[in-house]
Structure 1
């Protein structure tokens, strides 16, 4: 099978998937479907420029051939691109299970030494703080610990064994600098949420916490940091 044939097969499948998502049974152009989906689908928003170009390429292949032979033969990279978009549109990667793990949480009475031991053993840099009812109220990070240490060092009062999380909380630089997201959030949606919330707070989010429905009282299922979604970020 030629690259042109592979490309057209993927294009037709993608066009049908777009139509199904929009609930369209009548004919509509590929570009029109893209326009309608931009406001509804994060994968289409991500690849909108590529999709318009792929639509133009399809027209060149399908409508401008001579003797049934396409006048344009897509590069292998182009075929792989449309295959990738089709795969992501039909089954987008989601934050669960990709970023699912047992989240270590603390409360205001948790000894700092316990938090430090867990951070060292499991190599993480952020821990949600829960209230007595198990609700997320804040996130503490290694940056917070550093600020606390410097403050204590200036006063010559460092005592790691006596310190508790409550002692560190006043040193959180940007309070509430996190957001909660549902488990069915796609990585593309997570990236958009990260950019939107960071812009609103005028500060890069420390993290996004995953729960079943994005509620603070629900069991924590994982944490997404900027490093996790860096490749999906786009303005």
Structure 2
């Protein structure tokens, strides 16, 4: 026998409620809507899905409080609703870490690279800053502002060099 959408919905809803209680540090009962208010400040998933969760609270009440039989639910959620609440549940159960969110390949320049190499990297990748290394030692950061100031200084002398400044 397959599990009904209303059951899947209630299971996910209950896990979300428990997760919000844990996030809030709550030890007693608090209405679901107040839990949302309390936890959305500290949790991006709750903040992102706040409106959906408020609607789901009403749906949950209709399912739970209007049951007249074990096999009868007044509302049977659509598949996409159940999939979204289960997605929210999964996101709360294993949140993305800061490292995972911002982890990516860092492009660098060597101190011996030409300015044109740096500018080409900025143009292709749309970077506004690039770290510069001499061997494995960090020696500075090329920034959009830094390049602008350097070009202005070079232009005032009437010559713009293609060499990376020391």
Work out whether 1:55 is the aligned partner of 2:54.
no
Pair 1:70–1:97, CA change in 2 (3 A) = same
Work out whether 1:78 is the aligned partner of 2:74.
no
* d(CA) in 2 for partners of 1:67, 1:56: 20
For residue 27 of structure 1, what is the aligned residue in structure 2? Answer: 29
* d(CA) in 2 for partners of 1:139, 1:86: 42
For residue 140 of structure 1, what is the aligned residue in structure 2? Answer: 143
TM-score for the superposition, normalised by structure 1: 0.53
Alpha-carbon deviation of 1:19?
1.2
Q: Where in structure 2 are there 5+ consecutive unaligned residues? A: none
Alpha-carbon deviation of 1:46?
1.3
CA RMSD of aligned residues (A): 3.7
Alpha-carbon deviation of 1:28?
1.7
From 14, 17, 24, the counterpart of 1:15: 17
**1:21-51, CA deviations, whole angstroms, 9 ceiling, x for partnerless residues?**
2222322211121111122212111111111
Work out whether 1:45 is the aligned partner of 2:36.
no
TM-score for the superposition, normalised by structure 2: 0.72
Q: Determine if contact 2:108/2:133 at 8 Å carries over to the other structure.
A: no
Work out whether 1:125 is the aligned partner of 2:126.
yes
Q: Determine if contact 1:108/1:129 at 8 Å carries over to the other structure.
A: no
* d(CA) in 1 for partners of 2:75, 2:106: 52
Aligned positions of 1:1-235 closer than 5 A: 1-68=3-70, 69-106=72-109, 111-116=114-119, 119=121, 123-126=124-127, 127-129=129-131, 134=138, 140=143, 160=162, 162=163, 164=164
Count, aligned residues: 158
